[in-house]
Amino acid sequence: METFPENDNLLVTEAMLQHLPAPVQRYLRYTGVVGKPWVRTARVKQVGKFRQAADEPWMPMQAEQYFTINPPGFVWKARFKIAGMWLFRARDSYQAGHGHMFGKLAGLYTIFDTRGEQIDQGSLVRYLAEMIWFPTAFLGDNLTWQGVDDQSAQVTLTDSGRSVSARMTFDETGRHVNTIAQRYGDFNGKFSIETWSTPTLAYGMRAGLNLPIHNQVVWKLSSGDLSYWDGENTEVEYNQRGDPSGRW
């Protein structure tokens, strides 16, 4: 596969899309990346809700996430309302092949501080699914694409010696419909690989591109579907110089 250098002057061209399966090409054209600069970093602000289990209440959420494209990485920082107050904070990250999940209640009590092989795999799967928000990354040489049919493609992302895969589906217009993957999750204190999906519910213009702005995250469990994250990207920024927030 051809490697495209990442620099401020590089623009995405129609020729760069030609090696991709047809539904992926439709998606990139629909977003409007052709003629736009190559994305090196992305910053996303989110609002939404989160819950840990089907029998637990939804918690209002505000979050901010910073991505790097080469090498792949992210830092996601969120706060959640409990009893009407912003009492719970969480930080998820993936850097240099390793994931880390950390949560603290009321700024005092650590609820979880988790690393390991399963977190590494799950974090890389998450990154792969969230690349829809910075779609020039679909052209990277760390991805392998294989067409499945006119509306779906299988994609494999390789980083730091690890590969993860997902199936992405798109409608006839080119809009992303869903991403489905096998991902490690923690269920009642035990890790297992389960089917995980990130359906898109709405599109909007962000950072000059037509992007998915409302997504859910769903575990497809034998006991039934567990939708545990529902959020909207309120702001998207690309290629900020240095650390754009001063808090990562």
* CA–CA separation, 154 and 17 (whole Å): 16
Look at residue 128 and tell me if it is in a domain.
Answer: yes
Indicate the residue type of 64.
E
Residue 207 is predicted with a pLDDT of: 97
For residue 7, the model assigns a pLDDT of: 56
**Other beta carbons less than 10 A from residue 145's beta carbon:** 16
**With 50 as the cut, is the pLDDT of residue 82 above it?**
yes
Q: Do the domain assignments include residue 181?
A: yes
Residue 219 in domain:
yes
Question: Average pLDDT, stretch 201-215?
Answer: 98
* 17 in a structural domain: no
Domain ranges, residue 89: 23-238
CA distance 66 to 88: 20
Query: Tell me, what's the pLDDT at 8?
Result: 58
At residue 244, the pLDDT reads 45
Work out how many domains the chain is built from and give that number: 1
Domain annotation covers residue 13: no
Q: What pLDDT, in 10s, does the model give residues 121-147?
A: 999 999 999 999 999 999 999 999 999
State the DSSP H helix or E strand holding residue 23, giving kind and residue range, or none if neither: helix 22-31
Q: Which stretches of 106-150 are assigned E, i.e. beta strand?
A: 109-114, 143-149
Residue at 66 is within a domain: yes
pLDDT at 98: 98
pLDDT for 94: 98
- Has residue 9 been placed in a domain? no
CATH code for position 216: 2.50.20
Mean pLDDT of 64-68: 98
Q: Has residue 248 got a pLDDT over 50? A: no
Residue 243: inside a domain: no
